[in-house]
Amino acid sequence: MGFACVLLAAHLTPPLLLPSPRFSLSFADAGEVYVWGNGGNGRLGLGSADTVMVPTLLVNHEAHSAPLQFQSVHCGSMHTIGVSRSGAVFTWGCNGSGQLGHGDRKDLLSPRRVDVLAATPVSQVDAGFDYSAALTGVSGGW
């Protein structure tokens, strides 16, 4: 199985493209994220599990649909973790192993801030098949 996510850097010429069997993600210059593809388990973060055939702006449903702006985003097999430009960590998608970091195993259809990391400086995040990781400015990681 290939990568779970395609990253397109909109400011690169040509854009960076990676093959994906499930969904795609694109960054705009200002940090906005566009998603499309298989929305199963909420992996697109658009508020449903529907498949979306065209790039669609990812918004923060908790903040009245304001666009989320990210400095980095990483995709697992069926979930995504990202660090916003303000330093908040957000996760969404499949949560069968608790990989979203919210203390439960409930899938999330839209991005939700990881509250346990709210007061911790996070410098990097990563995601795999069924895990997420965050590198913090304090001893150890999450």
Q: Give per-residue pLDDT as tens, 1-56.
A: 434 455 544 444 334 333 345 788 887 777 888 888 899 999 999 999 999 998 88
- Percentage with pLDDT > 70 across the chain: 80
What is the gyration radius of the CA atoms in the chain, in angstroms? 14
- Among residues 15, 22, 47, the alpha carbon closest in space to that of 36 is found at 22
- Helix, strand or coil, per DSSP, at residue 117: helix
Cα separation, 88 vs 46, in Å, equals 19
Report, as an integer, the average pLDDT of 93-117.
96
Query: Which residues, including other chains, have CB under 8 Å from residue 20's CB and lie 6 or more apart?
Result: 2, 3, 4, 5, 6, 37
- Helix, strand or coil, per DSSP, at residue 141: strand
Query: Which residues, including other chains, have CB under 8 Å from residue 13's CB and lie 6 or more apart?
Result: none
Cα separation, 56 vs 136, in Å, equals 31
